[in-house]
Every structure is written in C-alpha cells, then in structure tokens.
A and B are shown apart, each in its own frame.
Chain A
C-alpha cells in the first residue's frame, strides 16, 4: 500500500500529538506548521546548517532530513521542551539554556535551537563527572553553523553547562 497522506501520532515534548500530513512533508515543516512548534528553525533544508536539529528517540537529528511520516510512533524533543515546569507553574531552564544566556552564546538566535538540542543531547548522554575536553566540545558544536557569534561563546557555554550539570 502506498499513500499520499497519512495520519501520524508522535509524542512531542512528552505530549502525544496527532497530525494528518502529506507524505512528502518534512519533519521540520510538520513541527513548525502542522504542530505549531516554530522554535525549530529551517536554515538550509539540505542538512548542513543544523538549525533544525531536534532529538528523535534520544538522538539529535536534522529534522529537514526526515519525513514527518517517519516519526510516527516516535518521541521527539524540540527546543520548546527543553525547559521544565517547576511546581509553581513557572519555568526552569535547561542548564544549556542558562549557559547560553549567561555566556552570550547567541545573537540573532536563529541557529540557537539547533545548537541547544545538539548540546543538550550531548551533555545528557555523557558522564558529566568526566572533565569535558576541547575535543568533546568541538564534536558537540562542530556540525552546526552560526553566522553571528564566531562560536567562541557557544563553546564557553558548553563548558558552563557541563559544569552546572556536574554540580547539580
């Protein structure tokens, strides 16, 4: 059976969501336009810039290089799901978000969600009691383009976030 349109169910930021999409809809477009999660940005649509990076079933991937129908049944995390709610209904930022603000690791902010997701996944999956090397940082941020910051403060923010996660 081949389809031109499908209804998919996907857990986005912990919330089950349903959407009916043409099968050619890119995951990036489905998140932004079908599910209204515009925090994921589209910078090149050919998988090079990394602005659209989201976490699918635990791994950071380029959402412009997946079809929406491919995440049927999966769990997706986007920048909107990075902070958690506290008991008073307020928001507790993820250490990577805190670090980006503290270290001035963003300017226009367009590439930022992709960096945040890549770095969050990288720091969450590693043993933060082990000292982060420059090489680790380069690996974590090396596949995302930023045209504003020159990356210095983004690298600084990764160290800052890793320290916060180690101390937490």
Chain B
C-alpha cells in the first residue's frame, strides 16, 4: 500500500523551500522593522554606577533607548525561574535589563532601537556605562572555594544541593572487596546553532494584539511569558516559531530578555521591531553547558561487578538559574546508564559563577553522566586487568529485567523505570561493528607506522520523551487536504516529514495531501516544547491519536453512506472502501464534506453538504448530540513517564607521538530508539550528534580567563568541527519498541552526542597509557600530560610493557 509510510526513509518535504532559498528564518521576516541592539556588560561582575546616553542621542536614525529605569510592573521584576525545584534553595535570575549589577560578560544593560542594525550599533558605541568592578568567580573550583560570592547573599555560591540515593552507600562501600576513588573534570561547550536567536514583534494598535516571531524551541510558553510580563491577555498574543536555524537546547530557555524587550518596544513605539542576535552576542549572551567536577568512589568485586557507587558532582550553573536544576538532575539520574547498581548515591552541588548561564545543550547533562559512569568502568577494568567490554557486560541490566526500576526520580518528577531495551545485544553488536577483538592487531599495525592506537567504548541510556504532554490536531478538508498541527516547534529535525508519515499511515491518505504546521500558537495553543528528544514520542503519538480519531469518525460517516458496518471499512489512498468489495467506496474528501452540514454552497464540493442535497432524517438534528461538524480531531498524548532509548559507541584513535595530534580513525555507533518513523532522519540525527560529541571531546571549549572574559568568542577560536574533523561513522541499529506509547517509539535527537567524550577519552587513555581525567583534550594538553612525570600511568600500560619485555 502506498500510504503506509511509517518506517520508510521518506525524503523530507521541508527541503524544497530550504534548498531554494525560500526558507523563512527570523531575520528574513519584517524587512521594514526597526532594529534593536544591546549594550552588554564588558565586566564579569560589577555594580553599575551610571548610564550616560547623551552622546548617543545625536545619532541619526536613533529611535529609542531603554534602560532598567524604563521597565515597569512585571518587566521590572527578575526573569522567571522557569523550572522551580525544592532542592534549588537559592535560585537567581537576571532582569530583562541589568538592575544595578551585572554578573557575567554579555549581560544586557541597555537596549537601543534604531532604523537599522548599523545605526543601532553606532548608538550603542556612544553610550557610556560606568561600572565599579567586583571580585570575579570563574570555574567550579573557584565557586566551590567560595573565596568570593557571585551573589552577595549566597556566600557559598551554592544554588542547589541535589541529592538522591538508592540505599546505604557507606556500609556498602565498606563491605566492597575493592574500591577506588577519583576526580575528573569536563569543560564548557555550547549548542552554537548556525542561526543565533532572534525576535520580531508587531503590534496591531487597532486590535490591541501582538504577533511575535521568535527563533525558539517553545513558542507556546514564550507566548504565555510575554502575556504575563507585558500584562496582555493571552488571546491577544500570538507567537510563531518560523524556520529555526538549529537549536540544540539553547532556544528552549525562555523568555530570553530580548523576547520580552523587543515586544515591549514594538508596543511602545507602534512599529515593527526586530533583533537578530549576532555571533558575538550568542557567545556571551546565550547559554553554555557541560562544566562539572566529578568526585567518584566505586566499590566492586574481583570480577568487576559494582557493589556501590558514590558520586559527588560540582556543577557550574553560571550566573543565574532560569532553567532550574534540570541539567544536574539529568546528570545525576542518567549517570547509571545501562548498569544494575545495587547501591547508588549522588549529590550534585550546583554553583554560581560569573559566566554565561548554563542550560541544556543537546544531551543536557547526559554526556557528563556517561563520562562519569563509563570512565568508572574503564578504571575498574584497568585495576583488575580485565577487558573493558567484559567489565561492562558483567554489570549490564539483562534483557529479562524490564521494566527496570532504578529507584531514582527523573527530571520530569517521575521514577526512572526503564521501559525496554537489550543492552547485551547493543554491546555484542558494537564489538562486532568496531572490531573490538582486533584491537591488538590494529595497535601493532599502527605501531609499525609510528602511531599510538587506542580503542574506547561508552554505553548510555537516555530518558526521552518526558511529559507532561503534547497535542495534535488533524483535519480533513473538502479538498482532500489533511491539515495537521502540533504546538511544539522544529529546528531541523524533519518534523513536517515524520508527522506527515504518521498521519498518512494512520489515516490512509497520500502523504502529498498532508500539510503539517508546528510551533505556531495560532494553530495549536497547548504545547510544552522541543527538548529531551521528545518530539517524535510526544507529538508523534498525539498526532497518531488525533489521526485515529479522524479515522473513526470518517468510518462512521462513510458507513452510513455505504450502508456498511464501520468495522468492515478501510481507508487507503484517500478512499474509504468496503474491505474486499472493490468499487464500493467514497473519497475521504467527500466524507469531510458530508461531516459538515451546510446551508451555503460556497463551492462545488460544499453543494453536496447543503440542506436540500440529500434526504435527511427529520427526527434527528443535522449534527448529532455530542458530535461536532467537520472531519477533525484533537488529541493529546501524556505519558506516565519517559521512555528510555539506548546506545553504544566505540572510537578508535591514532595519535602521532611526535606531535600528539589525535585522529579519530573509526567511530562506531549502535543505536536503539525503538520503532523508527524515518530511518533516514534518525541516521541524520546520529551523524550530527556524533559530530558534536567529537567536537566536545577534542575541539570545543569555552576559554574563560580569570577575569571572566571569554577569550574565544568567535568561530575563529571556538573550534567547532569542519568536515575535516569529523570521522566516518559506522552505524548499526537495534529496535526494542517502547511499551509505553501507541507507536512504540523512543526519542533519537540527542543520542549521538552523549557517549562521545567518554569513548574518546577511553581511546586516548588506551593509546597513551596515561590517565585522562579532564576533557576535552587538545594536542598541547596531551603533550603536557605525557611529559609530566607526575601524571598517572594506567595499570594496563604497565602490564602491556611488562608483557612486551617478557
């Protein structure tokens, strides 16, 4: 059947406009709009003593200047703590424009509105802000030492102390045959989508209504935030996410100051106003992620089976906590990975620093958790002289242990209960795919070429598709066109295609007839957002349920016309027909027409549904009690908890011992996200994730100096991989459907990035025989490590050397 497209590599319908230059990104909208630009703090921590705008007033084309003094009501209050949590005992957020104090370089202080962006920047240049500098806290260690405080009233710099435990860890550790303890670090990177953020606002004074376009991952909640902050009725605000040039997490945070200030100016000035973030602003005015200090103690037996795990993490949350402690919770709960841990305790202390805020970046705390757990596995293997794969294998949750309850509470407040999976299956496939048993041969070959070769692996489990809900609406028009909408947004994941596949398959219509709209509050007002690998799971299932609702109604109406029982009908290629009776059918579009009894024949199709077109039953109302006109259905999917995808990655690196350049020569991925809607799209997500994983392991790092200045706030110095830095990726798949949702799918968006740092650290350690305890690592750092006599050699390296000498 042509319409059963679920699971097929359908080419994307988004592409036609995007490859011909007809996409509509934020800065493509409103070419007559005024432009906003911002004066941002050049200091990491300072008191503002004066703002002098006099010099700027002469700039021709200047329209308005806003400082904190111009904000009133809710706008003069701090930005919301978006996700409050009882353990977030000292939340702090900034103001839309700085109120007397700045806490990181890049914090907005003044907004300028002018005829164009050039002029707006001219005016910004002439505004003189006087500061009294305060002591600066940079990095988790400085925050932890608390010699200075980021926020005066929080002297220990601790925003939250997140704590979970599944048993009594201390006696378990004391009873363990063996224990080891270590500390390791992971540094800051960032989402860095190719399109920065941006906001366009248009006020209709006659209608007292506001339309906002914003490059967001959460248009419905931006809408609610704007309405609340600007004291507008929700029905007078519409927010639309146009084509969005990548998100990766940074655009889930909201409301960004600019998302409130640009609409404020538009209302205030009665003009369209637009702000398109430039790259430097994005570096210092958006969000970063990943920096943690991890202190780990593990107890295990002589076979390498873990008996207890105790983890204390210091998490750098930057200057403010608008997104709560989601990243720390995710690290704490996803750290356990595919392993059965008899006793686990985790404490994450989330600390303030005078740096850009930390909010989810693809993976959202999982890469750090994976790094902690997988490097623990490596250490156990090294200590016992066991194969790293074997140690992992011995700790895996087995296929017959599902549902598996970790006795932890996830980021959605729900228990961490793994729904399904086959982790030994993943590991077996990975060993084959990467050639794990061939490693020693490869090492010898490389040695002959003068290279140090190492292999590493890392496994992960990823909670995807958290609630609370998403919705879908499906409507069949009299033209045969099928309109589909959902509230969550798209940033390149191919939602228009995947959701159209689901509707075409569920409803039995040609995919060409299906039109999908996402992230537009005019079409769907209830939504949560696109994050946590949840779009396919949440909106996919909601849309499937909506399509099933439409199907049910269509069969009911068609059954009446065809004088058959609904259960004897099927829909295929847009035709409702009696099963096994060719020719007895009615087009779905006609059913749609009939579903809406009409008085007026505004077009040919409508004529069929008017009151004299057919004989009715005089005893029944045209629209039955409890029914509604139109062939449409709205439905919601609200899961009891997240579904857990999984995967295993392996990397082979070659290192030149003369220059310490690190080359990833092979990268293998085994991936399980349950049932797959579109395998082409899923592979694309994996490719992109792996590239970010490699970037995070070897290239990307936010380099702050001690004064809190970001030293590499440009694409010249913040090293995102080009094509030349990304290895070829071998992928194998496994499918363990989720029993939790109707379509059996699990999320796939973030998976690719999660194990990169862990697997590559493991491979480098294997190659050079020195302990890798800080990531990312660059050639210059590797050189420092290998020539430092105090750096720790691995036991494996010592054994290898002894073996070679024997």
Contact = CB atoms under 8 A, between A and B. Distances in A.
B14 A109 contact: yes
Nearest to A50: B722
Nearest to B720: A145
Nearest to A49: B715
Contacts of A102: 11
A109 B492 contact: yes
A48 B19 CA distance: 21
Query: What is the predominant secondary structure among interface residues of chain B facing chain A?
Result: loop
A109 B724 CA distance: 20
A109 B22 CA distance: 10
Contacts of B692: 147, 150
A122 interface: no
A141 interface: yes
Contacts of B330: none
Contacts of B687: 149-153
B611 interface: no
Nearest to B117: A29
Contacts of A147: 191-194, 246, 248, 688, 692, 720
B182 interface: no
A45 B280 CA distance: 9
Contacts of B431: none
Interface in A31-59: 32-33, 36-46, 48-49, 51
Contacts of A80: 20-22
Interface stretch (B23-31, B391-399, B550-558, B620-628): B23-31
Q: Which of A48, A108, A154 has the most CB of B within 10 A?
A: A108
A139 to B, nearest CB: 9
B723 A100 contact: no
A110 B245 contact: yes
A113 B192 CA distance: 18
A109 B18 contact: yes
A51 B20 contact: no
Contact of B684 (A49, A104, A113, A144): A104
Interface string A80-95: 1011000000010100
B234 interface: no
Contact of B681 (A33, A48, A104, A109): A104
Q: Which of A111, A149, A152, A155 has the most CB of B within 10 A?
A: A152
B489 to A, nearest CB: 12
The size class of the interface chain B forms with chain A is 35 or more
B683 to A, nearest CB: 8
B287 to A, nearest CB: 15
Contacts of B720: 145, 147
Given A101-B12, A108-B246, A145-B720, A150 B691 contact: yes
Interface residues of A, number: 56
A146 interface: yes
A108 B716 contact: no
Contacts of A82: 20-21
A104 B680 contact: yes
Contact of B688 (A24, A44, A148): A148
A22 B194 contact: no
Interface string B231-249: 0000000000001111110
B784 interface: no
B634 to A, nearest CB: 28
Interface string A107-150: 11111110010000000000000000000001001111111111
Given A40-B21, A43-B195, A110-B245, A104 B724 contact: no
B268 interface: no
Nearest to B717: A48
A112 B729 CA distance: 21
A28 to B, nearest CB: 11
B200 to A, nearest CB: 13
A82 B27 CA distance: 22
A78 interface: yes
Contacts of B11: 101-102, 104
Q: Which of B684, B691, B714 has the most CB of A within 10 A?
A: B684
Given A91-B20, A109-B492, A152-B728, A22 B278 contact: no
A106 interface: yes
A109 B680 CA distance: 16
A109 B279 contact: no
A43 B194 CA distance: 5
A97 interface: yes
A79 interface: yes
A22 B691 CA distance: 40
Contacts of B116: 33
B12 A116 contact: no
B23 A138 contact: no
Interface string B468-502: 00000000000000000000000111100000000
B298 to A, nearest CB: 33
Contacts of A46: 279, 714-716
A78 B21 CA distance: 8
Contacts of A111: 194, 245
Contacts of B690: 150
A107 B494 contact: yes
Nearest to B191: A147
B245 A109 contact: yes
A100 B19 contact: yes
Contact of B722 (A104, A107, A145): A145
Contact of A150 (B21, B278, B714, B726): B726
A41 B25 contact: yes
A48 B493 CA distance: 25
B27 A109 contact: no
B737 to A, nearest CB: 24
A152 B687 CA distance: 7
Given A39-B21, A110-B25, A145-B722, A152 B31 contact: no
Interface string B619-644: 00000000000000000000000000
A46 B692 CA distance: 22
23 contacts: A37-B21, A39-B20, A39-B22, A44-B279, A45-B278, A46-B716, A48-B714, A79-B19, A79-B21, A101-B16, A104-B681, A106-B18, A106-B19, A108-B245, A109-B23, A110-B194, A110-B492, A147-B192, A147-B720, A150-B688, A150-B692, A152-B728, A153-B684
Given A41-B194, A146-B723, A150-B752, 20 more contacts: A38-B25, A41-B25, A41-B195, A42-B27, A44-B715, A48-B715, A80-B21, A82-B20, A97-B19, A104-B12, A107-B246, A108-B244, A108-B245, A108-B247, A109-B15, A109-B18, A109-B245, A138-B724, A147-B688, A148-B492
Q: Which 3 A-B pairs have the closest CB atoms?
A: A39-B21, A108-B492, A110-B245
